[in-house]
Structures are given as C-alpha cells and as structure tokens.
Chains A and B, each alone.
Chain A
Amino acid sequence: MLDPINTMPQARTGKIARASYEVRKHVNEMLRDGKTAKAVINFLNGAGISGVTDMNVSNWRDGGFQDFLKEQTRLEEMQFKREFAMEIVRQNQGSQLQEATLHLAASQLYEALTDFDIGRLKELLDEKPENYAAIVNSLAKLSKGALEVQKYKDAVSQAQKEIQKLKDPKQELNEDDRKAIVAKVDEILGLK
C-alpha cells in the first residue's frame, strides 16, 4: 500500500497551502472575518511559518480562500441533510437501533434527500411547519424496507450465536438443558 498522505498530490503549493489543516482553517476564518493581511502574517509567524508576504496572503485570498468558501457552502448543505436524515431516523426508530444500523438508515434517507432542492425544502418547512411531519413519515416509510432487512439479518446473526453456544462441547449445561437431554436419551432408548 502507498502512503496516501505523502503520495497524493496537493491541490495548491503556495506558502499558506503547505501549512497544516488547522493553520489553513484559522487563516480562512480570519479572512472570512475581515482580518487584514498583516494580522494573518502575524498569526502565521506565531505558528512558526515565516517569510509570508502580503502577496502570498493576497494570492491565497484569491485562490485557496475562494475554494474554502465554496467548500463551506457545499459542506453546510450536506451537513444539514445529514442531520435531518439522522434526526428522522432517531425520531422514528432510533431507540431500537444500533449505531451502525442508524447510520445505514440515515444514509438511505440522505440519498433520498439529496435529490430535493434543499433551499426550497427549508422554505417549505418555514412556511408550513406542519409539513415536517408528512416529510418525516414519507421518508421513514422509504427506509422501512431496508431496516426490516437489517433487523432480519441481526436476528439471524443472534440465532447463529445461540446455536454456536449449543455446539460448544465445553459449554456448561443448565438444569433445563440436562433434563431435555435426559428426556431425549430416554426417548431414544425407549424408556419413555
């Protein structure tokens, strides 16, 4: 296997682009908050990155920072849908589901949600909050089939574990098991 962190190329190679994720994130937040190039340079110096000029900051503002703004817009939309999907699953089935199954169901709802115009969906819910319940119910139905399959799989898995226990020759028998075996042996031997 390759070392993906070191072998996958970086999109940008400028002084700020080569800083760590945490440093870049802070620089982007400073620019978004309207901080000056001088303030950014001071912060970078404090983070151990020297030699950064006004031109470097200006280049970043026109390039990497613009990418950051676009990324944030898309991330916010994805995260809104993700939280919405997870909330629906939690409200409908959450208490009965394991975390992995919850994520699976929420993933399926997320897939359904992504074809909606999320901006329009927000508007509709703001205009008519009573639609929320209808949407929740519709989406819950969408995922119900998949959840039933998952529950069935979990039940099969549990049953297999129980059967495995019975197959274990070192398993200690309880009183009921002993009685059942004695009865079966009696039956086989014709004593009963």
Chain B
Amino acid sequence: MERKNDIRKEILFQLYGVRPLSLSAARIARDCRKGGYDYTPDEIKSELQFLEDEKLIIGEREPGTTGKVFRIHALGVSVYEEKYAA
C-alpha cells in the first residue's frame, strides 16, 4: 500500500507542479525514472486511473493522437497540499 501511495504522491506532485497544464502517462513515467523511482508504466497507469476515479485528476483525450493526458483537479490540489506537501 505504501508503494501505491508513493506513486500517487509523485503523480500528484508532477501534475501540481505544471498545473494547469497536462501530462501524459509516458511523460510522468519518464520523470519518475529521472527522479530515481523504479515505478513501472503499468503501475503509473493504474494509479492515474485511481486518482481519476477519485476525481483528483482529470484525464482527457489528446487531440490528434490516441493518447490520454492528465491534469490536476482543484480537489487534487487540496489533497496534495494538505497530505503530501512538506
């Protein structure tokens, strides 16, 4: 559970940092690797889905591609600041 929570924190952190812009799952995964985390793309996609279901982030189809991009919702900002920010 702790690992899942760490992944959620990292996803929210990245989307919080670029808000109101959006990021793809692949971009998030690459930045996780750059940050020294070993989260797999599947784990990241799974937690993106969780956060989307919880309405903390919003997933949208990216025009001109079959991909999806994600941006943080206002509720996600509150959760990030209250629960995760140092």
A: residues with CB less than 8 A from B are: 1-2, 4-5, 8-12, 20-21, 24-25, 28, 64-68, 71, 74-75, 78-79, 81-82, 85-86, 103-104, 106-107, 110-111, 114-115, 145-146, 149-150, 153
A79: chain B residues at CB < 8 Å are 17-18
* Contact between A4 and B79, CB atoms less than 8 A apart: yes
| Given A25-B85, A64-B86, A111-B23, 19 additional A-B pairs, CB 8 A | A1-B53, A4-B75, A5-B79, A9-B83, A11-B9, A24-B85, A65-B86, A71-B13, A74-B13, A82-B21, A85-B21, A103-B22, A104-B22, A104-B62, A104-B63, A110-B23, A115-B30, A149-B64, A150-B63
Tell me the complex Cα distance, A86–B21, Å: 9
Write the B21-36 contact mask toward A (1 if CB under 8 angstroms, else 0). 1111001001100010
Tell me the complex Cα distance, A28–B85, Å: 11
Tell me the complex Cα distance, A75–B64, Å: 29
- Shortest Cβ distance from residue A86 to the other chain B in the assembled complex, whole angstroms: 8
* Contact between A8 and B69, CB atoms less than 8 A apart: no
B55: chain A residues at CB < 8 Å are 1, 4
Of the residues A2, A5, A111, A149, contact of B82 by C-beta under 8 Å: A5
Of the residues A8, A81, A82, contact of B8 by C-beta under 8 Å: A8
- Shortest Cβ distance from residue B34 to the other chain A in the assembled complex, whole angstroms: 9
Of the residues A9, A75, A146, contact of B63 by C-beta under 8 Å: A146
The 10 closest A-B pairs by CB, nearest first: A78-B17, A67-B86, A149-B64, A68-B86, A21-B81, A107-B21, A149-B63, A107-B22, A64-B86, A150-B63
